Structure formats: C-alpha cells, structure tokens
Amino acid sequence: MATTLTASTLKVSIEETITLNGVNHGSFNTYSVPSINEVSRRIVNVPTSVKTIAEFSTSTIGPGKFDSDDIRYLRVTNLDASNYITVGVASSTDTAYFKVLAGGSFVITDINVDTNTGGSAFSAFVRVTGITAQANTGAVDVELFTASV
C-alpha cells in the first residue's frame, strides 16, 4: 500500500515576554524538526498515583506506545490551574523526576538519557523506556504531544 501522507517539518516556538524597568528582556526561539510523518496528541487525566502516560520500544507500537527509534519530540503540559505534577523519565535502570508547575510544560527533543545516582560523570546514553505522571494533591489533566519520523 502506498501512502498519500507527505512528511512535514514540525516547528516549535518558545517565547518569553517580560519588561523590567521599561526594558524588554524577552526572547523568541524556534526549533525545527524535519521529516515528521506521525503525531499523537491526547489529553489524559492523571491521578495522585503514578501512571504511565507513554512507553517506548522498538518492537511494539499502539495506544500510548511509541517506536523509540522514531520519536523526535515529546511535550507534557500540565493543564491544571493550581496543582503541579511530577513527570518521571524512566530508562531501563533509573528514573529522573521533574516538577512541572500548573500551566507549565516539559519538553524532550531526544529520548536518550544518562542517569546517575552516585554523582559520577557522564557515562553513556540509553533510551528512555517510559514517561510517568503523578498529580500533587488532586487529579489533573495533562496534554501529551509526540512527533515521530
């Protein structure tokens, strides 16, 4: 079967706007990701217990499961107005946790990570195997957006 889908470039823009004492200190940057031919965008309700919101593998794809060779961009946005979430980025051996405040986003542009609990220097990158989320004091809605080649 021949596809009729044409790959496109994902453009991500980040803008900070602030004026202090009459002086603009804002910034605007654009990041481009070429050859994207698959996107996934969903909103999930995250409780106060840890829930897996994305898994990565080279052998299984499906709902919430993505090919780790193909992911080029991932964003988790906390849609809540007051509660923070804890985002866990797991490799085969360790997990790193990030606090994402209400309205904030966590962005990954590559799913390779090196985690070290002993404070040693960088060793080697390994693939992220999953992303978890956990709400702070009450369930929150979280947007998960991924882009793949």
Average pLDDT over the chain, rounded to an integer: 94
Closest CA to 144 of 64, 69, 88, 90: 64
pLDDT-above-70 percentage for the chain: 99
How much is the pLDDT for 116?
74
Contacts of 90 (CB under 8 A, 6+ apart): 128, 129, 130, 131, 132
Confidence of residue 51 (pLDDT cuts 50, 70, 90): very high
Closest CA to 107 of 137, 143, 141, 83: 143
Confidence of residue 1 (pLDDT cuts 50, 70, 90): low
Condensed to tens digits (0 to 9), the pLDDT of residues 115-143 reads 777 778 888 899 999 999 999 999 999 99
